[in-house]
Amino acid sequence: MASPTESSLGTLVMASLLILALFFTGLWIYVAAQAGQDPSYLLPWFGGAALGIIAVGLVGYVITGMRRGGRRG
């Protein structure tokens, strides 16, 4: 069974990605609605932010696994 620390870390990563996706969608619509604007410049910024959130989550999982002794079961 997963410890509360692991499940809360996963929840935090998922919540961060969902909030980022909502913010990205809103900003994309806002920029696309302006005349003569191309919102594709937002992709690298939000892609980098998503990769950063995922990397922080993976590091957190690795650190948690190392504290537990490295092996499960």
User: 34-52: per-residue pLDDT in tens?
Assistant: 999 999 999 999 999 999 9
* The two three-digit tokens of residue 35, written as one number: 């005349």
Question: Is the pTM value of this prediction over 0.85?
Answer: no
Whether 73 is covered by a domain: the verdict is: no
Check: CB of residue 31 under 8 Å from CB of residue 39: yes
Q: Which domain holds residue 54?
A: 4-31+41-67
Whether 72 is covered by a domain: the verdict is: no
State the average pLDDT for the chain. 86
Query: How is 31-70 classified by DSSP, letter by letter?
Result: HHHSTT--GGGHHHHHHHHHHHHHHHHHHHHHHHHHHTTS
Number of domains in the chain: 1
Whether 18 is covered by a domain: the verdict is: yes
Whether 27 is covered by a domain: the verdict is: yes
Whether 36 is covered by a domain: the verdict is: no
Check: CB of residue 51 under 8 Å from CB of residue 21: no
Q: What letter represents residue 35's amino acid?
A: A
Whether 16 is covered by a domain: the verdict is: yes
- Best CA proximity match to 10, nearest among 57, 53, 55, 52: 57
Predicted confidence at residue 6, as pLDDT, reads 53
Whether 9 is covered by a domain: the verdict is: yes
